[in-house]
Amino acid sequence: MSERLHALGPKGFIPERDLDKTPVLETHHLGIDFGGLTAVNEFEITIGRTEITGLIGPNGAGKTTVFNLLTNVYKPTRGNILLDGVSTAGKSTAQLCRMGIARTFQNIRLFKDMSVIDNILVGLHHEMDYSLPEAVLRLPRFWRGEKIARKRAMELLGIFRMEDTAETPAGSLPYGAQRRLEILRALATNPSILLLDEPAAGMNPSETAELMENIRRIRDTFQIAVLLIEHDMSLVMGICEGIAVLNFGQIIAKGTPEEIRNNPAVIEAYLGKQKEV
C-alpha cells in the first residue's frame, strides 16, 4: 500500500496555482485508536488554499472519523494537523472553528427550533464583538454589531436565494434547503477550509448537479478550500481536483479523478478483489 502512496508523491496533490503558498491543511501520520481498534492510521493529506478535495471510501472506512479528527471532536492518538501551517494540537473544537475550519454533518445538525437567520447568526457569533452590558443597555456597539451581522447573514442566505425563509424555523425547511442552510451556517464562521460530510446525500441528480455548481461557486467567491466526503461519484469526479481514497482507516490511493478512476486498489476496495486464477 505504502509504495503506491509514495508513487503519487508523499505530499499528495497541490494544484499548481497554490504551490507558492502554505497549504491550508496538512496532516502527518494522523491516526486514532478506539480501545484496541485502529480506526484511522497514517492519514496524510495536503490541501491547497483553494482546492476542492474529495475523500471517498466504502462505508465504515473512517471518513467521518477523519472529519472528527480534523475538527478535534476526537483527539488524535498519533500524528499532527497543521491548519494554515499552525498545529491544532491542544486546541478546542471552538478554537479550531475560529482558526478557520468549518463543517457540515452527514445527518443534518441544524439548530432546528431556531429560525434560519438565527442559525447563521450563531455562525457569525464572533463577528459581533459587543459585551453583555452593552447588549443589556442597548449601546450603539450592540446595534452596530447586530446590524452588520444580520446584513451579512442575509448576504449569505442570498447565495442560495433563501432570503425569504429567514424567519422560518430551520427544522421546518425542506430537506434540500436544510442541507444548503448547513453549508451557509458553516460559511458564516468565515472558514479557510470547509468540510462537507456527504453534501449530496438524499438529493436527486438535478439537485446534485446544482449543488456541484454551488460548491464550485462558493470556492471561487470565498477563495477557500473544500474537503468533501461523498458517495455520489458523479459529484466527486465532477468537481474535485484531488481525491483521497480511504479503506479500513488507511489511505489506499491519492490522485486526480482520472488516476483514481483507474486505480486497481480503489476498484478492489469498492468492488472486491478478483479471484486469483
Partner 1 sequence: MIVLQQLINGLQLGSIYSLIALGYSMVYGIIMLLNFAHGDIIMVGGYIALLIIGAGIHPAVAIIAAIVGCMVLACVIEKAAYAPLRKAPRISLLITAIGVSFFLENVAQLLLSANPRSFPNTAIIPTANFNLGSLNISLTTLVTLAVAIVSMALLTVLVNRTKMGKAMRAVSEDMGAAQLMGINVNRTITFTFAIGAVLAGIGAILYCCKYPQVKPTTGYLLGMKAFVAAVLGGIGSIPGAMLGGLAIGMAEVIVNALGYTTWADAVVYVILILVLLIKPTGFLGRTMSEKV
Helix ranges restricted to H, the chain: 2-7, 63-70, 93-99, 116-123, 132-136, 140-159, 175-188, 205-222, 233-239, 257-261, 264-271
Contact between 137 and partner 1 by CB under 8 A: the answer reads no
Encoded one letter per residue, x for contact with partner 1 by CB under 8 A and - for no contact, window 186-215 reads x-xx--------------------------
Instruction: Report the half-sphere exposure of 40 (CA within 13 A, side-chain side).
Output: 28
Residue in the structure block whose three cell numbers are 449601546:
139
C-alpha distances in angstroms, 46 versus 6, 175, 229, 251? 14, 32, 16, 13
Nearer CB in complex with partner 1: 130/222 = 130
Nearer CB in complex with partner 1: 12/123 = 123
| Nearest distance, CB of residue 110 and partner 1, angstroms | 8
| Nearest distance, CB of residue 58 and partner 1, angstroms | 22
| Nearest distance, CB of residue 37 and partner 1, angstroms | 18
Nearer CB in complex with partner 1: 133/272 = 133
Contact between 113 and partner 1 by CB under 8 A: the answer reads yes
Number of H helices, E strands in the chain: 11, 10
Contact between 154 and partner 1 by CB under 8 A: the answer reads no
Contact between 160 and partner 1 by CB under 8 A: the answer reads no
Other CB atoms within a 10 A radius of the CB of residue 92 amount to 10
Residues 6 or more apart whose CB falls under 8 angstroms from that of 182 comprise 104, 105, 108, 109, 110
Encoded one letter per residue, x for contact with partner 1 by CB under 8 A and - for no contact, window 36-75 reads -----------------------------------x-x--
Nearer CB in complex with partner 1: 112/151 = 112
Nearer CB in complex with partner 1: 122/209 = 122
Other CB atoms within a 10 A radius of the CB of residue 31 amount to 19
Nearer CB in complex with partner 1: 4/98 = 98
Contact between 139 and partner 1 by CB under 8 A: the answer reads no
Do 48 and 224 meet the contact criterion of CB atoms below 8 Å apart?
A: no
Binding part of the chain for partner 1, among 42-50, 143-151, 242-250, 257-265 by CB under 8 A, reads: 143-151
Do 229 and 215 meet the contact criterion of CB atoms below 8 Å apart?
A: no
Contact between 148 and partner 1 by CB under 8 A: the answer reads no
